[in-house]
Structure 1
Amino acid sequence: MAVQSLQRDYKVIENLKLSKVYLPILDRLLDDISQECYNAKRLLSQDKIKVVRWEKVDENFSDLIIATAGEDQVFTYANMALKTQVEKLLLSHQNKDQALN
């Protein structure tokens, strides 16, 4: 979800006057998050777990559908809580990058 949010924002930021300032930050963040997502999916696949899809139920809720070795599982999340978690994740990555520099 963080990757999708950043990709949507990327298109908007490309049109800003100061896009050359913001785009490298977004690029780095996208690379980091994409790598983490890849690693997480790889670890899940070792346990025969696969994220099938995110499905928006309505304005307030989304379902996460996961395939396991036994059966599919559906987890329902509040969209506002997901948005908050994505923001925290992105801020955490940004702060980590600033600490390294």
Structure 2
Amino acid sequence: MTSAATRIDIGRPGTVRLVLGQLGYAVVALWRSPTVLIFTFAMSLVWLVVIGIVAGNEYLGPGSGVRVMQFATPVAVAMGTFFGTYPTLGTTL
């Protein structure tokens, strides 16, 4: 005879399966919404290209050793992530 806890756990998906399912849902939802797609990819890339054209190969400050594009690229990735998640989260709530 099985215990009640064993009977409840049978048939439930594991953590990995739940995460993969949610990730698949998020990717499908992203590609179905052109507005989110534009804000996620296009705005970040346009911003990065404009900063690259304006700043060129300049350094952030004298003696810093960090170029503007080395600083702007991670910012563009973060901006795309924020634009892709927060509007979707706001409309969902």
User: TM-score, normalising length from structure 1?
Assistant: 0.35
- More strand as a share of residues: 1
- More helix as a share of residues: 2
Larger of the two Rg values belongs to structure: 2
